[in-house]
Chain A
């Protein structure tokens, strides 16, 4: 985007917001076709974060997970289930982005508590309650 702006020194017919919007759409299209690893942007969610959001994952990504597991049961070869795997990871990435936008503080607090308590659910009930109140299942 920067290169494009620098190359065309004069005022273009299109507005800056329009170009930016088009670039974002192109990026999204590119991401949809490629896997998360290929884009080079694996979600860096630690175990504590995953354990914190496991209930949301269960409720929102149940169908995709079931599809992936069914594919795996059919054929254990990793190359055979890449598409379902990408769908599953995309669901997780979407969910994490959604939660980070809606209740970042509660999620961070819960994840930090889980990290401190080595993923023991019983020791983070207060943070869990606050998180699930802010971002219900």
Chain B
């Protein structure tokens, strides 16, 4: 599920530089660390290449000179050169190790997150269902009380209407107020009730 960076096995595998040898002594390593730059000394006289470790700068030599120097021709020409063994190689090769979680690990993480998310969704739905049930139960409990009130009011209003109709049609002979069971005799339906399709 998790990949670690690969360990280098051979010198050629670690292009462009070989790893430091563990047998190297500490004193040698310290000296190599100190002497980062040496001067390759040689003179103009054809005496061959007198490569000597000369601690000093060109300016110093020109000003003070060296022991046993007779002419300027004897003055060594100091060149700034590379350290012994050469400069360490510069690594320019890319190394992009394939580390970290594998694809399977990522998919597993996504799957876990989704499973947890859907579980939470289910919990939320259950909770909302409970609240809805509570609300509907409360409404169901209250219906008889409200309907009883409305019944009394309706009956009173029907009586009132009938009374006023009697009063209005008092002079008309043979007039009976109320609907006289004109529509339904067996079942009672609320006023303006129809079985026709409704617009709203």
> A residues near B, CB below 8 A?
35-37, 42, 50-51, 54-55, 57-58, 61, 65, 68-69, 72, 75-82, 84-86, 88-89, 92, 121-122
B58 interface hit (Cβ, 8 Å): no
**Contact-residue size bin, chain B (C-beta under 8 Å from the other chain):** 20 to 34
A72: B residues at CB distance < 8 A: 147
Q: Are B151 and A81 in contact, CB atoms less than 8 angstroms apart?
A: yes
Q: Tell me which of A57, A65, A85, A122 contacts B131 (CB under 8 A).
A: A122
Q: Are B152 and A36 in contact, CB atoms less than 8 angstroms apart?
A: yes
Known contacts A82-B155, A88-B148; 11 additional CB pairs below 8 A are A36-B152, A37-B156, A57-B142, A65-B145, A68-B144, A76-B189, A78-B188, A79-B155, A84-B148, A88-B145, A89-B148
CB distance from A25 to the nearest CB of B (A): 25
Assuming the contacts A37-B156, A50-B142, asked whether A68 and B187 have C-beta atoms less than 8 A apart, the reply is: no
B189: A residues at CB distance < 8 A: 76
Q: Tell me which of B135, B152, B154 contacts A35 (CB under 8 A).
A: B152
A54: B residues at CB distance < 8 A: 137-138, 141-142
B37: A residues at CB distance < 8 A: none
Assuming the contacts A57-B142, A57-B145, A89-B145, asked whether A78 and B151 have C-beta atoms less than 8 A apart, the reply is: yes
CB distance from B127 to the nearest CB of A (A): 9
Q: Are B142 and A75 in contact, CB atoms less than 8 angstroms apart?
A: no
Question: Bound complex: CA of A51 vs CA of B141, how far in Å?
Answer: 9
> B residues near A, CB below 8 A?
131, 134-135, 137-138, 141-142, 144-145, 147-156, 187-189
Interface centre among B131, B134, B147 (most CB of A within 10 A): B147
Question: Bound complex: CA of A35 vs CA of B149, how far in Å?
Answer: 10
Q: Which residue of B lies closest to A92 (CB)?
A: B145
Q: Are A50 and B154 in contact, CB atoms less than 8 angstroms apart?
A: no
Interface centre among B148, B150, B151 (most CB of A within 10 A): B148
Q: Which residue of B lies closest to A85 (CB)?
A: B148
Q: Are B148 and A42 in contact, CB atoms less than 8 angstroms apart?
A: no
A57: B residues at CB distance < 8 A: 141-142, 145
CB distance from B4 to the nearest CB of A (A): 51
Q: Are B142 and A51 in contact, CB atoms less than 8 angstroms apart?
A: yes
Question: Bound complex: CA of A88 vs CA of B151, how far in Å?
Answer: 12
Q: Are A37 and B144 in contact, CB atoms less than 8 angstroms apart?
A: no
Q: Are B151 and A76 in contact, CB atoms less than 8 angstroms apart?
A: no
Q: Are A76 and B144 in contact, CB atoms less than 8 angstroms apart?
A: no
Which 9 pairs between the two chains have the least Cβ-Cβ distance? A85-B148, A77-B188, A78-B151, A65-B144, A37-B152, A54-B138, A54-B141, A58-B141, A76-B188
Q: Are A82 and B145 in contact, CB atoms less than 8 angstroms apart?
A: no
B188: A residues at CB distance < 8 A: 75-78, 80
Q: Tell me which of B144, B150, B152 contacts A69 (CB under 8 A).
A: B144
A76: B residues at CB distance < 8 A: 187-189
Question: Bound complex: CA of A54 vs CA of B155, how far in Å?
Answer: 26
